[in-house]
Structures are given as C-alpha cells and as structure tokens.
Copies of this chain bind each other. A is one copy, B any other.
Amino acid sequence: MKDAKLTGLKLTPQRLAILEYLSGNREHPSAADIYAAVSEKFPTMSFATVYNTLKALRDRDHVLELAIDGGKRRYDPETIRHHHLICTECRKIVDIYVEFDLSVPEAERDGFDIAGNHVDFYGVCRNCRESGSEQKAASRKGRKT
C-alpha cells in the first residue's frame, strides 16, 4: 500500500491498527478476520468501524474487495496487478504474478467498455492434498467458485 493515496482519511488509532494489520498481509482476510485481529489491541473495536474503514480504503483504491468466497467478502491490500490461485478445499487464496494476454475481440464485447480483468485459478493446495481432505472434498463437491 502506498501512503500517497490516503488523502482525506482521518487517521484514527483504529484505522492505523487496521492498516498495520493489512500491510503486507497476504491472507486475503475477511472483515471478521480483521475485526478479530484488531480487537486484540482495541477491545472496543466494532464491526461498524471495520466496515467503515474498509469502505474508505476501497474507495481510495487501497484495498481490493474480493468476491471469491461465496458468502463473504475478502480484502486484498495488494493493489498492483496480480491473479489468484484458489483452493477449492480450504478457500486459501495465493497471489500469482503471471501476466496474460487477455484481449477480447470487439465482436465479443457486447457493447461493454472493458476496463480490466482478473483470472482465478481453481485447484487444491498442497496442504489440502497432503492432509486428509476427502471429507471436505465430499462436502464441497461441485463447488468451483
């Protein structure tokens, strides 16, 4: 995260704690993850503050809001271009920095003004592959996203 874009953000201790937690964090945490971590330093922290801060950061392009995990949103402080490897067992998300040529022929654009793209790769991470993941695999059968 570059501090350059933090204009207009009032840097309260709570926000600084959230920023510190996110800085360099490659776990793509959910709002609940962030709340849990930051609550240790701020026992009075509320979800409202977490969501409020995440929205402010998102609006300043300081975090990306990922819609990858079904029910909940996850947040990514890495804003330079990258793609994701997603484990279909444990939902772990790993960043990859491979570049692809993803041009869409005019004829296929359906009138869209395309601004960007993102690739999700689905698979099973080493951890889930090596440890017993059979049960989980059964319960998640068919869930690809």
* A144-B116 CB under 8 A given contacts A67-B69, A104-B98, A110-B94: yes
A145 at interface, CB cutoff 8 A: yes
Mask for A51-71, Cβ within 8 A of B = 1, else 0?
000000011110011111111
Contacts of A142 in B (CB 8 A): 58-61
Copies of this subunit: 2
* A:78-101 near B, CB below 8 Å: 85, 87-88, 94, 96-98, 100-101
A2 at interface, CB cutoff 8 A: no
Closest Cβ–Cβ distance, residue A53 to chain B (whole Å): 13
A114 at interface, CB cutoff 8 A: yes
Q: How many residues of A contact B (CB 8 A)?
A: 51
Closest Cβ–Cβ distance, residue A113 to chain B (whole Å): 5
| Complexed CA–CA distance, A144 and B81 (Å) | 13
A124 at interface, CB cutoff 8 A: yes
Verify B113–A143 contact, CB threshold 8 A: no
A45 at interface, CB cutoff 8 A: no
Please tell me which one of the listed residues B98, B119, B124 contacts residue A115 in the complex, with CB atoms under 8 A apart: B124
Please tell me which one of the listed residues B101, B112, B122, B144 contacts residue A85 in the complex, with CB atoms under 8 A apart: B112
Verify A68–B67 contact, CB threshold 8 A: yes
